[in-house]
Structure 1
Amino acid sequence: MRAETLSAQQHSTRTTTHCQSGPTQYLLLSGGFAAPRKEDREMTETASLRLRSASVLGVLGEYDHEIEFQDGSNFVIVYGPNGIGKTKLLEIIDALLRMNFAMLSGKPFSTARLEFEDGSALSAAVSRIHGPAPAEERDSDFEGSLKSMREHGQVTIRLERPDGSHIDWTWRGEDQNNFELYLQRETTWIPINGGAWQDQTDGEIADLDELSMRFGWRDVRTNRKQNRPPADFVAFADRLTTHLIETQRLKIEEYMDRSPRSRNSPRNRRGQTTIVDYASKMRELLSKALAENSRVTQQLDRTFPSRVLSRDDASEVLDEVGIREKYESQNRFRSRLADIALIGLEPELALPERTLTIWEVSMLDLYLADADNKLQSFENLLEKIEALEEIINARLLRKHFAVNAHDGLVVTHTSDGRPISLDSLSSGEQHEIILMFDLLFNVEAGSLVMIDEPEISLHVSWQVDFIADVERIASLADFQFIVATHSPQIINTWWSRAKQLGPHNEEFFGPVARDAL
């Protein structure tokens, strides 16, 4: 599969309809696009899209990279020597999925194409006004970066629909380009899905127009109004979620210190690291689950008597065997919850050993159904917590990792139970906890996760199990993932899912790769 080359000379939005099938029809308008009725496309345009393949040509001016998810597979591994653009490949895919055109225009590639399982595709072509200066000739300061960005020109995007029709749009705007680069390099603001921006110091979300006013950048708002993508691109972007995990993931303050305005932020004043921040987030997740449990409990308990009295005797209920099995299942679930020290859960009801009467079975059936609803807020959360604990404890030596409602994340000595400060863990231990937590609790369902060089700070024995651990997490959190690595231990037995980038020299990993194949 090759990325389709798009013309970068188009100056207006246009729609080309190749076919009309079923109830979905597209209306051609002069210079614009009218979407079909909402009810005709509601089902197909709300679900997240799964990536089938990606092709990026001209990476670093000379490499063509193509990857494909095999049938039934939810991950791909890419590997290759230094300097062939593995990281750039991930960044380009991420920028295109986010429709971050300013960042996309600054990446070293010519064309890119993403194909999805529903038959849709998204392509991009960069047209450069002046070719980028060689790396050794570029200025290292920010003004030099702006100069380099001004030379990048424009990006032409094509959205192809499953029915074969497509819409093209060209992004241009030097002021916006420079301003977005400024925000990402000199402030704590980062782009998120849907064209919004988020401040990493406090989580505030704002659009580019508001930020341009705050920072005093002229002409950005005017150019933005003239350079906004068509509604179809915006709707398509809402179905794309991506999560790029870069090589540096330990210290929040290293990111925050880029901007003078962030140095007085509460988080920066206390020098909080990512792992401590995640411990706080875990406490919040458990607190929210408890609050939801309390809300549902009050609602169900308030109506329980009336529902018992109004229940039809002929209602379908479990028999006594089913009642006792469900009762034991809920007790096991409560025991698992007790391991993370959740307080406030109502005590279990003890069942008599004698045969239950008909009215007892009927009432207990309703009671246990209510209990299921009350515990529902913990089900997915508990499964993820247990996965996190199992994965991390398989890595730690003479330490025990646990999650509880009071501390969030806690590590203790196995010998005497003494607590260990999260900040004092080794970089490898912190990397593992942060990465696995990130995948389990920060990734939206349906996302494409890209992990760059996960082997950093990881012992070889930890690397061997990495893909299996992430695949387990992906099944829980429902995401696809791409891993870029230099490590044969990361690939381990997954060579059938691995794609070599760059020159195809079998000696890159030597006999390790040959033997695995």
Structure 2
Amino acid sequence: MAVTRQLTGIQVRGLLGRFDHEIIFPESDEFIILHGPNGVGKTMLLELIQSLSGTLRIPSIHRTPFSEVRLTYSDGTQFEVSKALQETLPLGEELEKQIQRLIFRLRLPDGQEISSTAGFDSEELASPRFRDWASRVLDLEPVGPDIWLTTGGYTISSLELLHKYSDRLPTRALRTGGGKVDARILAFLGENEVHLIETQRLLTLEDPDSSEFRRGSTRTPAVSKVESFARDLTRRLADALAENSRTSQELDRTYPRRVLQAHTEYPSEEKIRERYSEQNELRKSLSAISLLDENVGRIEIPKKMEPWQRNVLWTYLEDTEKKLSTFSEILAKVSLLQEIVNTRFLYKRLEIDRRRGLRLVSEEGTELGLSMLSSGEQHELVLLYDLLFNVQPGALVLIDEPEISLHVSWQKRFIEDLQRISRLVKFRSVVATHSPQIAGKWINRMVSLGPGTTD
């Protein structure tokens, strides 16, 4: 079931132990722009919003220094998290320090309030199983009841381990008061899809599965995000072809029966020719992204048609439209990606290839490796692809410093690109930036964070 609520307000207190921020995000606005000096917690705030949406990320929330955060939604719902309660972990003398426990409160529009608490499981953290997992997955060697040796040759305490690696802790190392976080809270958060685009976006890592203690865990090296997205597009193109094949088989199976059905009215010859011409143009577009041979499906339209011929052709054109419609979503996204990228890149163009996904060709027609893209070109391509293909309709997109490595002229066009993509994919976004070129004319969408930002 689609959820229509939108995030309309963000309040955080004690961020970094110092800052109180309040952000109003009108439901009618497609985006807002956060700006402020370095050190006021823009990135941390985006990460906190992500942690409080979709799948609840308790370790990440623990790690973030804040005292209270409140998210307000368009239907009147409020979700709050505070760190008012604390506990100690009996893992050694060092841990006679305070570790926060989290309090979650969900206030529904009907006045109902649902609460839960969460923290770390001290017994699990002290277990041989956890020590074995930390040794294999984190490369930490236990050298005492509360001391770990890192691969760099320095030691950290268990308390430091909790905060440094909290986003990778197995779920068994967490506890939630007397039981699990209330299912109604988890269901609410699961309905609020959030997609974070971080500043480090050119490489991707496959993290070890932190939901269970796994034996024989292996590490995966960093890979280029451009190359990763090229493989992703190959898969998406293959999926679209498979869906088209299923639709075609079903329509072809029932075609004889449907074409023999009696009709009292037949479409005009002009309407048939017009529809056929439109489908040929669509075939050309699909051929350009290697999804279809534009000559496949072409037929010879008679100059003069009998009623039975019009019936046969109209049924054929209706079936063809249904078959081609299986490509409509990916065609719209790929076309917009190419349109934007190919107005930015110099002396080269981006093409779509069914077998390789993304293909780069020089002005002279020479194929170039994707690794030959500059840092700015990679940032542009990765950012656009991520927005087009990895964001779910209705999601809130958080974009941290989109200006990284982009030429000033590209920065000036970013919001325009964002609007075009968001209207196609159907999402809203929060953009954190230091760039006046990004903000441009959108002063009415800007929210200042921290001191000295009134200019």
TM-score by length of 2: 0.81
User: Per the alignment, do residues 147 and 443 of structure 1 end up closer, same or farther by CA in structure 2, a change over 3 Å counting?
Assistant: farther
Amino acid at match of 1:387: L
Amino acid at match of 1:232: R
CA–CA separation in structure 2 for the residues paired with 1:225 and 1:303: 59
Residue of structure 1 equivalent to 2:249: 298
Q: Deviations over 1:224-252 (max 9, x none)?
A: 69431222112212211111111101122
1:176 Cα offset (Å): 9.8
CA–CA separation in structure 1 for the residues paired with 2:171 and 2:81: 28
CA contact (8 A) 2:36 2:453 kept: no
Q: Kindly, what percent of the aligned residue pairs are identical?
A: 38
CA–CA separation in structure 1 for the residues paired with 2:124 and 2:381: 36
Please, which of 220, 224, 227 is the counterpart of residue 273 of structure 1? 224
1:400 is paired with a residue of what secondary structure?
A: strand
CA–CA separation in structure 1 for the residues paired with 2:33 and 2:12: 16
User: Per the alignment, do residues 122 and 347 of structure 1 end up closer, same or farther by CA in structure 2, a change over 3 Å counting?
Assistant: same
1:129 is paired with a residue of what secondary structure?
A: strand
- The answer to whether residue 106 in structure 2 is matched with residue 164 in structure 1 is no
Amino acid at match of 1:120: T
Amino acid at match of 2:263: D
- The answer to whether residue 83 in structure 2 is matched with residue 126 in structure 1 is yes
2:111 is paired with a residue of what secondary structure?
A: coil
CA–CA separation in structure 2 for the residues paired with 1:218 and 1:435: 31
1:490 is paired with a residue of what secondary structure?
A: helix
1:353 Cα offset (Å): 5.2
- The answer to whether residue 13 in structure 2 is matched with residue 57 in structure 1 is yes
Write out aligned runs for 1:104-503 (5 A): 104-127=61-84, 129=86, 151-175=98-122, 220=173, 223=175, 226-253=178-205, 265=220, 268=221, 272-309=223-260, 311-314=261-264, 318-343=267-292, 347-352=296-301, 354-414=303-363, 416-503=364-451
Amino acid at match of 2:334: I
CA contact (8 A) 1:48 1:240 kept: no
CA contact (8 A) 2:395 2:427 kept: yes
2:82 is paired with a residue of what secondary structure?
A: strand
CA–CA separation in structure 2 for the residues paired with 1:58 and 1:218: 27
CA contact (8 A) 1:67 1:76 kept: no
CA–CA separation in structure 1 for the residues paired with 2:448 and 2:171: 45
Q: Deviations over 1:90-148 (max 9, x none)?
A: 111111113222211221112211122233221211225389xxxxxxxxxxx9xx969
1:467 Cα offset (Å): 1.1
CA contact (8 A) 2:59 2:169 kept: no
User: Per the alignment, do residues 226 and 292 of structure 1 end up closer, same or farther by CA in structure 2, a change over 3 Å counting?
Assistant: same
Residue of structure 1 equivalent to 2:153: none
User: Per the alignment, do residues 167 and 317 of structure 1 end up closer, same or farther by CA in structure 2, a change over 3 Å counting?
Assistant: farther
1:234 is paired with a residue of what secondary structure?
A: helix
1:475 is paired with a residue of what secondary structure?
A: helix
CA–CA separation in structure 1 for the residues paired with 2:365 and 2:282: 25
CA contact (8 A) 1:79 1:486 kept: yes
Q: List alignment gaps of at least 5 residues for structure 2.
A: 140-167
Amino acid at match of 1:244: L
CA–CA separation in structure 1 for the residues paired with 2:452 and 2:266: 64
My pick for the range that moved more, 101-110 or 468-477, is 101-110
Amino acid at match of 2:193: T
CA contact (8 A) 1:56 1:111 kept: yes
Residue of structure 2 equivalent to 1:94: 50
Amino acid at match of 2:37: P
User: Per the alignment, do residues 162 and 312 of structure 1 end up closer, same or farther by CA in structure 2, a change over 3 Å counting?
Assistant: farther
User: Per the alignment, do residues 376 and 461 of structure 1 end up closer, same or farther by CA in structure 2, a change over 3 Å counting?
Assistant: same
1:349 Cα offset (Å): 3.4
Corresponding pairs, count: 412
User: Per the alignment, do residues 166 and 379 of structure 1 end up closer, same or farther by CA in structure 2, a change over 3 Å counting?
Assistant: same
CA–CA separation in structure 2 for the residues paired with 1:217 and 1:254: 16
2:52 is paired with a residue of what secondary structure?
A: helix
CA–CA separation in structure 2 for the residues paired with 1:452 and 1:159: 27
Q: List alignment gaps of at least 5 residues for structure 1.
A: 1-42, 132-142, 189-214, 508-517
CA–CA separation in structure 2 for the residues paired with 1:365 and 1:458: 50
